[in-house]
Amino acid sequence: MVVLSLALAYMAVERKYEPLLLLPLAFGMLIANIPIAGLSSYDEGGLIYYLYKGIELGIYPPMIFICIGAMTDFSPLISSPKTALIGLGGQLGIFAAMFGALGLGYVFSYFIPGFENFTMQEAAAIGVIGSSDGPTSIYITKQLASHLLPTITIAAYSYMALVPLIQPPIMRALTTKKERMIVMPIPKKVSKTKKILFPIVTTLVVLILVPSAATLIAMLMLGNLIRESGVTERLSRMLQGDLLNLLTLLIGLSIGGSATADRVLNIKTLLIIVLGLFAFAMGTAGGVIVAKILCKLTGGKVNPLIGNAGVSAMPMAARISQKLGQEYNPSNYLLMHAMGPIVASTIGSAIIAGIFITMFG
């Protein structure tokens, strides 16, 4: 485990893979696996024990969602609601990984004596890795399968960092050169009234229809309302900067402190790592396929390259859409178009997480 923590620190410092989270996570893992130090999340009375309460009580992930809401412009989704379908397609990874966990677990339990298949709670938590949404993965795993929290968090954030390597080959394989060169029209301007009404209406609808997703969605929409109101500049700056950085540090250190050898070093960990990669790949493919369908239905007005943004790796997936689009057509500007599916995917994955909690919690 000490060697693994040093490997994660290397990835953060030398490779710059999600360094803001992986570096404190790696250090937390390092100190947690020195038993005499008493610095794991299970050592009652120690520093990490109390910091971990923010995970245990479900405080940190919703607070991160406020920060995400304050950082995100929802206008691409408001101006082009059809892109929400791409975000829906990106959720394919969640269900593919969930059923994949149940299927692989059954195979392993048949051939390996003593191996216990994944429960529905564990499979649902593993599936949400496919949302590419770290806070949502943490939130649902703590609710359904807290013993898998270190492994699922490490898998989710590691693959988010590897999105630039995972997504482009899938995007190229599923699109034609002609489709990649499609220039999309400039997104319509959205009025301030619509920007303010969107988070309020979305919150009310979700709270009524899917109350188990209320915490994450309400906090996401509060952050966005603070951003768009125009009268809370100080709050908006604080959420986007200092608070987000502090929460990232606390989450990384707390989860690293729970990654002790007895929880991480087992066959299920390896399966979760494999399933996480499968989830990301299927989520990317699902988004691109839906984008291709929209391209046909709109007479070629949607560039399928924005389909990778069906997974909510914000804003990295949108940057990949932009980079790949300009590679084939220098006059292509897909960044803002890709933000619509990302926003929809973030909302959609939180709602699916809420449904899973209701069904299996």
Distance CA 5, CA 32 (A): 10
Nearest to 284 by CA among 92, 81, 137, 82: 92
Phi-psi region of 358 (alpha: psi -120 to 50; beta: other; left: phi over 0): alpha
Per-residue pLDDT band for 2 (boundaries 50, 70, 90) equals: very high
Domain assignment present for residue 177? The answer is yes
Domain count, the chain: 1
First and final C-alpha spacing in the chain: 30
Domain assignment present for residue 46? The answer is no
Domain assignment present for residue 36? The answer is no
Domain assignment present for residue 31? The answer is no
- Cβ atoms within 10 Å, residue 213: 25
| 172 has a pLDDT exceeding 90 | yes
Angle at 258 between CA 274 and CA 146, to 5 degrees: 65
Angle at 283 between CA 273 and CA 154, to 5 degrees: 30
| 261 has a pLDDT exceeding 80 | yes
Domain assignment present for residue 82? The answer is yes
Two tokens, residue 4:
């693994």
Distance CA 182, CA 188 (A): 18
| 36 has a pLDDT exceeding 80 | yes
| 246 has a pLDDT exceeding 90 | yes
- pTM given for the model: 0.90
Domain assignment present for residue 188? The answer is yes
Q: What is the pLDDT of residues 309-350, one digit of tens each?
A: 999 888 788 999 999 999 999 988 999 999 999 999 999 999
Classify each residue of 199-211 as buried b or exposed e, where b means 16 or more C-beta atoms within 10 Å of its C-beta.
beebbeebeeebe
Calculate the alpha carbon distances from 280 to 8, 104, 183, 293, 322 in Å: 20, 17, 26, 20, 19
Determine the pLDDT at residue 94. Answer: 94
Across the chain, mean pLDDT equals 91
Q: Residue 162's domain spans which residues? A: 71-238+268-360
Angle at 258 between CA 257 and CA 260, to 5 degrees: 95
How large a percentage of the chain has pLDDT more than 90? Answer: 71
